[in-house]
Amino acid sequence: GPVPRADAQRRARVPRAARAQARPRLSRLAARRGGLSAGGNLAMAALLAPLLLHHAPPPVVEALGGCDPVMPDAILLLCPVLNICRSPSPSRVVFASDVLLPQPLLKAFATAYDNDSDHWMVRDPIFSPVFAPDEALRQLPPTTILCGGLDPLLDDSVDFNTRIRRMGVPGELHIYRSLPH
């Protein structure tokens, strides 16, 4: 709710380091993240954002205050959107008529992100985690990816899984052969 002005002013005077120490921290043992479809994209973006601060513009770095990222113990991604590029992968072509994520809907979602252009954000690792630099991927927690074998985004999951395993990130990929997105 609203904060009285005097409280807000008093809080503003407390040094950033003192505020950080006063914040309660979750036990790492209980820390988990996960997401389904676009939520998988959001979960991965939340993990990658602090790891990519050195790529961010100075105002962003200053606003975030150089916080140390606290990684969860594990992440679970279900049919995640890991690449918003429009490049046609075999699964995007073959499964274009997916019941839950048909090609026109997938295109509409991509357009909502990039306004139908080859904009910088298409390859931004926050929007398309497959483009994250190796040093960021190496810091990910154990990652389990589940996806349907008939999912238009199947190739994205397989590619991302392959990449993070090469970076030494433990985890698993489960493909459910007869499931769509």
What pLDDT does residue 126 have? 79
What pLDDT does residue 39 have? 84
Q: Following DSSP, what letter does each residue of 100-118 receive, concatenated? A: SS-HHHHHHHHHHHHTTS-
Query: What does the domain layout of the chain look like in residue ranges?
Result: 38-176
Alpha helices in the chain (DSSP H): 5-13, 16-22, 38-51, 58-64, 90-94, 103-114, 134-137, 154-166
Q: Which residue carries 């490049």 as its tokens?
A: 87
Average pLDDT over all residues of the chain:
77
According to CATH, the topology of domain 38-176 is: Rossmann fold (3.40.50)
Q: Which two tokens stand for residue 179?
A: 């499931």
User: What's the pLDDT band for 14 if we cut at 50, 70, 90?
Assistant: very low
- How far apart are the C-alpha atoms of 52 and 135, rounded to whole Å? 9
More confident of the two residues 147 and 25: 147
What pLDDT does residue 32 have? 62
Could you read off the pLDDT of 87-107 as tens digits, one per residue?
Answer: 788 998 899 899 888 888 888
CB-CB contact of 171 with 137 (8 Å): no
Could you read off the pLDDT of 160-180 as tens digits, one per residue?
Answer: 999 999 999 999 999 999 999
What pLDDT does residue 78 have? 93
- How far apart are the C-alpha atoms of 45 and 61, rounded to whole Å? 16
CB-CB contact of 142 with 73 (8 Å): yes
User: What's the pLDDT band for 67 if we cut at 50, 70, 90?
Assistant: low
